[in-house]
Chains A and B, each alone.
Chain A
Amino acid sequence: DTEVTQTPKHLVMGMTNKKSLKCEQHMGHRAMYWYKQKAKKPPELMFVYSYEKLSINESVPSRFSPECPNSSLLNLHLHALQPEDSALYLCASSQERLWTSGATNTGELFFGEGSRLTVL
């Protein structure tokens, strides 16, 4: 069983809809991630939050809007998506250490089971 919970498991939306994907972890991890995965492909990094601040945005289109309300929650707001955005969206978290030069971690990721998104 995963300790990262994602909801909903499945989502079907039209191109004009607004919806949100939610992710929650209670492992005390301070880094959280969104990945996108197409069928038979590896996960592709979208966003990274470290200590509730957006630290990496992999040039993701603005129709995807991440939000980190607190250290346990991560949302991905979806608006005006395209059919090619249909994919499995994976949330992950990781531990990190805060050094004087910033935060680092081993990169060991704990994944949720994903939200399967279909855009019609």
Chain B
Amino acid sequence: SQQGEEDPQALSIQEGENATMNCSYKTSINNLQWYRQNSGRGLVHLILIRSNEREKHSGRLRVTLDTSKKSSSLLITASRAADTASYFCAAPYTGGFKTIFGAGTRLFVKA
């Protein structure tokens, strides 16, 4: 399967703490993306990192990519209760038209 694996499956932290989620994938990619999903809602694109980039920042988000290890991590700094959601990594294949999602990490931030 091309689907990535994510760990941890679930993460519970206090507000203000940092949250780190990891993703591994199996085949070569052009880019890797992270999405967020609030319970029962649609997914929202957070950040995209290209295969020739090692690190990218967007607000409180920091994404790293290690193509030699086929892995990526998402760090959310100074977490808030509103960050409670599921987070998925995803990689597009087949010219970008087949985006496959990892298993996801469920993050719970306690106020």
Contacts and interface: CB of A to CB of B under 8 A. Distances in A.
Contacts of A56: 94, 97-98
Nearest to B93: A107
Contact of A103 (B40, B43, B95, B101): B95
Contacts, number: 77
Contact of B40 (A42, A96, A109, A116): A116
A48 to B, nearest CB: 5
A106 B106 CA distance: 25
A103 B95 CA distance: 7
A111 B42 contact: yes
Contact of B102 (A42, A55, A110): A42
Interface residues of A, number: 34
**Dominant secondary structure at the A interface:** strand
Contact of A106 (B48, B100, B102, B103): B48
A43 B44 contact: no
A112 B42 contact: yes
A17 interface: no
Contacts of A40: 106
Interface residues of B, number: 28
Contact of A109 (B45, B94, B104): B45
Interface of A: 2, 4, 6, 31, 33, 40-45, 48, 50, 55-56, 88, 90, 92, 94, 96, 102-114, 116
14 contacts: A41-B104, A43-B88, A43-B101, A90-B42, A94-B96, A106-B92, A107-B33, A107-B91, A108-B48, A110-B45, A112-B42, A113-B42, A114-B40, A114-B42
Interface of B: 3, 30-31, 33, 35, 40-45, 48, 88, 90-92, 94-104, 106
Given A55-B97, A94-B96, A111-B44, 8 more contacts: A41-B103, A41-B104, A42-B102, A104-B96, A106-B30, A106-B92, A107-B97, A109-B35
7 tightest A-B CB contacts, nearest first: A107-B92, A111-B42, A42-B101, A105-B96, A107-B96, A104-B95, A113-B42
